[in-house]
Amino acid sequence: MFNAIPKILVTRKMPDVVNKKLMSNFTVSLNESDKLFTEVELQRALKEADGILCSVTERFTKKILNTTDRKTKIIANFGVGLDHIDLKSAKSKSIVVTNTPGVLTDATADLAIYLILAATRKAYLSEKKLRDGEWTGFSAVEDLGVSLKGKTLGIIGMGRIGKATARRANMALGMKVIYFNRSYIGSIDFPARPAQSIGHVMRESDIVSIHLPGDKGNHGLINEEQISLMKDNSFFINTSRGEVVDQKALIEALSTRKIAGGGLDVFENEPNIPQSLIDLDNVTLLPHIGSATKEVRDEMGLLAVENLISYFGKKDCPSRVV
């Protein structure tokens, strides 16, 4: 297939089906220990590998991409978000960057709905009571959550995942939908009302769900001012990127009950989670598992490999970004 067999370095453990496809097409260096790469190790990888299959945990900064004697021609990302790769630097150095859009849309939208349900039904508190042996039996007045039918879900970022989440909320849960998106998104196959600003969504929604890319232009976009606009009985959900939210302001709103609760799958500066957030009993926390189903992770990896095969086979990559 290739004039010379390219060497591919894989930065994290991958599903078996992905490794098999890699090894049937390339010379492959796997990270069997799954240990995170240091800056020095990433720089060495750029010097030794023709292509790199990476994940969100590897930060390809301008400094790292400026590595001298670089051999790497393509970085195939396992995931959609590319905020960990300096795309401007990659482009200036003619490094191709690909991602894996589409395949994780449904899984992430499902998790957003789970977090909405968990937050509004106080799942964490109720389960903790049961596991701690504090449940004394049925009560008509304890552990009361909030019904979702007729409530307003506000979507910030109406891309693939935002739309899929909104569609589920409307069609399965009977929720009204309001959304803000910077660009025109065309027709939608379910009832949804566009808003003129993020603030409009924050003020009107009973649940706010964030679906923004984590690029630098969005860092801290959901700030203290925006959060202060939320209703006192509202809930905040984030399955996109932790960096798009002022985490300190969110913790303050949750801890003071300025908002009723939340559900988070992503955090600023992962995997370091502030103890002040962990200690809260009105928020459900998950360790960035939006795409974590076997089927989806297999598909993500196979698409990343297909991008590599296409590039070295001198064909168009299925999901090239740079």
- Residue from 12, 84, 160, 288 carrying the catalytic annotation: 288
Look up 219 and say whether it is catalytic: no
Burial of residue 228, with CB atoms counted within 10 A of its CB: 0-12 exposed, 13-18 middle, 19 or more buried: middle
| Run of H or E including 312 | helix 294-312
Number of helices (H), then strands (E), in the chain: 12, 12
Strand order in the sheet with 193-194: 193-194, 176-180, 152-156, 207-210, 235-238, 261-264, 283-285
| Angle separating helix axes 16-23 and 294-312, nearest 10 degrees | 10
Count other C-beta atoms under 10 Å from residue 75's C-beta: 30
Beta bridge partners of 159: none
Query: Tokens 């991958």 appear where?
Result: 14
DSSP state of 32: T
Beta bridge partners of 320: 98
Look up 241 and say whether it is catalytic: yes
- Residue from 121, 241, 243, 297 carrying the catalytic annotation: 241
Q: CB neighbours of 15 closer than 8 A, spacing ≥ 6?
A: 294, 297, 298, 301
Q: Report the C-alpha gap between 99 and 96 in whole angstroms.
A: 10
- Residue from 41, 48, 252, 270 carrying the catalytic annotation: 270
Under DSSP, is residue 306 helix (H, G, I), strand (E, B) or coil?
Answer: helix
Q: How far is CA 59 from the centre of its chain?
A: 16
Phi first, then psi, for residue 114 (nearest 5°) are: -60, -45
**For residue 321, what are the CA distances in angstroms to 67, 87, 214, 217, 308?**
21, 9, 15, 17, 13
Active site residues: 241, 270, 288
